[in-house]
């Protein structure tokens, strides 16, 4: 089962192209600082503006650099079931550990349609799947009842829950059981999610605070509530203000501040505004993260 601080990796860009050196350095820095897993090509990785070829290349590079040291959960979702299946089979082929598959966006499928989408991927890919439920971006919200039906399929192993409802993990645990891997999809709920039956967080904050994010999760698992509470409070402003504008513009600004990569994003996103940068600067200072703190300067 996956657990702990799982980083939803940013995709570094330089002059419109993928900055492979910065990407590889970011992965190594994550591993060195105790991150428990990586998610390449999620929303934070700007998957909507990656070409198909770029998407596949990023997945492979992540798996190749990690070399099995920590789990890689490949972002392979699409609102086109055939495309999601192709990418999921590719993730299996290159040696990823699981696929993170978002609920189909824009199409607005029914609960039965979502069940059919995931059941098809399950049956034809034969690969562990983590459901990504994020109604704010996908419009549709997978119900606990639909998730319970899907969890009966052996390779539907968990959920990244970004529904923003802290009663959801408790309801899901009650309906499915403790072996279903529940990961928070929102940094702002990462701590509370654990108390409601979750086992970790797919995190944006951990791109720029990997040690603190991992240490907080470790403290919970070991029962060290003093450390857990201290880190929870320390990371709160980052969990809030890295989302003050559209993700990943603020976290890419933070990454630039730390010397990880440039703050370049692809249209229709634009770099963080002056007001957003000021909020991020204050959040970094509150967390005690200093400019240039990354040992992996781009």
Helix (H) or strand (E) holding 100: strand 98-102
Q: β-pairing, 4-8 with 129-133?
A: unpaired
Tell me the torsion sign for CA atoms 226, 227, 228, 231: positive
User: With contact defined as beta carbons under 8 Å apart, do 276 and 250 qualify?
Assistant: yes
Instruction: Round to whole Å and give the CA distance between 61 and 27.
Output: 10
Q: Could you tell me which of 114, 121, 196, 110 has the C-alpha nearest to residue 149?
A: 114
DSSP 3-state of 57: helix
**Sequence-distant (≥ 6) Cβ neighbours of residue 204 within 8 angstroms:** 8, 44, 187, 242, 243, 247, 248, 251
What DSSP designation does 245 have?
S
Helix (H) or strand (E) holding 166: none
User: With contact defined as beta carbons under 8 Å apart, do 142 and 173 qualify?
Assistant: no
User: With contact defined as beta carbons under 8 Å apart, do 108 and 139 qualify?
Assistant: yes
Q: Which are the catalytic amino acids?
A: 132, 160
Alpha carbons within 13 angstroms on the beta-carbon side of residue 242 total: 26
């Amino acid at each position: 089962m996956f657990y702990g601080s799982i980083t939803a990796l940013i995709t570094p860009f330089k002059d419109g192209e993928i900055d492979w050196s910065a990407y590889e350095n970011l992965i190594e820095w994550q591993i060195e600082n105790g991150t428990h897993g990586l998610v390449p090509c999620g929303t934070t990785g700007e998957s909507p503006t990656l070409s198909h070829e770029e998407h596949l290349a990023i997945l492979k590079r992540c798996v190749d650099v990690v070399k099995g040291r920590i789990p890689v959960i490949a972002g392979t979702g699409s609102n086109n079931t055939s495309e999601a299946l192709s990418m999921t089979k590719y993730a299996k082929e290159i040696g990823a550990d699981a696929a993170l598959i978002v609920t189909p966006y824009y199409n607005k499928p029914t609960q039965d349609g979502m069940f059919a989408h995931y059941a098809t991927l399950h049956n034809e890919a034969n690969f562990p799947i983590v459901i990504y439920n994020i109604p704010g971006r996908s419009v549709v919200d997978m119900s606990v009842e639909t998730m319970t039906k899907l969890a009966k399929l052996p390779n539907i192993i968990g959920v990244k829950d970004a529904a923003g409802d802290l009663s959801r993990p408790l309801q899901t645990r009650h309906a499915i059981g403790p072996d279903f891997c529940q990961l928070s999809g929102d940094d702002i709920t990462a701590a509370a999610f654990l108390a409601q039956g979750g086992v970790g967080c797919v995190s944006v904050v951990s791109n720029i605070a990997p040690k603190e994010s991992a240490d907080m999760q470790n403290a919970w698992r070991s029962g060290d509530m003093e450390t857990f509470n201290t880190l929870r409070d320390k990371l709160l402003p980052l969990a809030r203000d890295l989302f003050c504008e559209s993700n990943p513009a603020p976290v890419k600004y933070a990454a630039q501040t730390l010397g990880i990569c440039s703050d370049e994003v692809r249209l229709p996103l634009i770099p963080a505004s002056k007001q957003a940068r000021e909020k991020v600067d204050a959040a970094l200072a509150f967390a005690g993260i200093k400019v240039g703190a990354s040992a992996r300067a781009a």
